[in-house]
Amino acid sequence: MIIWLNGAFGAGKTTAAKELIALLPGSRVFDTEEVGIMLRHVLSSEKVRDFQDWQPWRGLVVAAAAQILDYVGGTLVIPQSVLVQQYWQEIRAGFDSAGIPLLHVVLHAERDELLRRIESDPIMPNSAWRLGHLGDYDAARSWHRREAHVIDTTDLQPRQVAARIAADAARTPRA
């Protein structure tokens, strides 16, 4: 099974993922950003705004996840913002085609809270890149509501968020 944690930068995806794997035996985090980093040296001549714009990123994420699950089983938790609906549809179709059960969760936080989290992030405070993608997140909210379970993290602690996701995962049909 894959639990994909989507949402704005600062919504708590990475923190929730760490809490979630503590609650789900046999789960592990798959950081798909590493796939983008791997492609950067190969596709550096192909200028894009985001590594997700490279079609190989989307296909490799699906292929790698399928290979990892075939190898170790269990649950992969993927904390990765996908704000372009076409990209999400490609990824979801890949998992469907591979027969991998998928729980798509969008972590949402109100704008003031997102700004506070981004500005005070200990690793990347005031990240212009993260702040610059808030409009993209706002634009994605309508299709996120249709295609995912949305959890408002504004007033929740990471462990509470993880517990809600774990409960949703327990209700998700497995292949």
Per-residue pLDDT of the chain (175 residues; tens, 9 = 90+): 999 999 998 899 999 999 999 999 999 999 999 999 999 999 999 999 899 999 999 999 999 999 999 999 999 999 999 999 999 999 999 999 999 999 999 999 999 999 999 999 888 888 888 998 999 999 999 999 999 999 999 999 999 999 999 999 999 988 5
What pLDDT score was predicted for residue 123? 87
Question: In the β-sheet with 102-108, what is the strand arrangement from edge to edge?
Answer: 27-29, 75-79, 2-7, 102-108, 149-152
Domain residue extents for the chain = 2-168
Could you tell me which CATH class the domain 2-168 is placed in?
alpha beta
User: Which pLDDT belongs to residue 111?
Assistant: 94
What's residue 175's pLDDT?
Answer: 58
**Res 129: pLDDT:** 86
Q: Which pTM was predicted?
A: 0.95
Burial 21-47 (b: 16+ CB within 10 A, else e): beebeebebbebbebbeebeeebeeee
Token representation of residue 65: 């996840």
Which residues, other chains included, contact 32 with Cβ-Cβ below 8 Å and sequence gap of 6+?
57, 61, 64, 78, 80
The confidence score (pLDDT) of residue 142 equals 96
Q: Residue 9 has what pLDDT?
A: 87
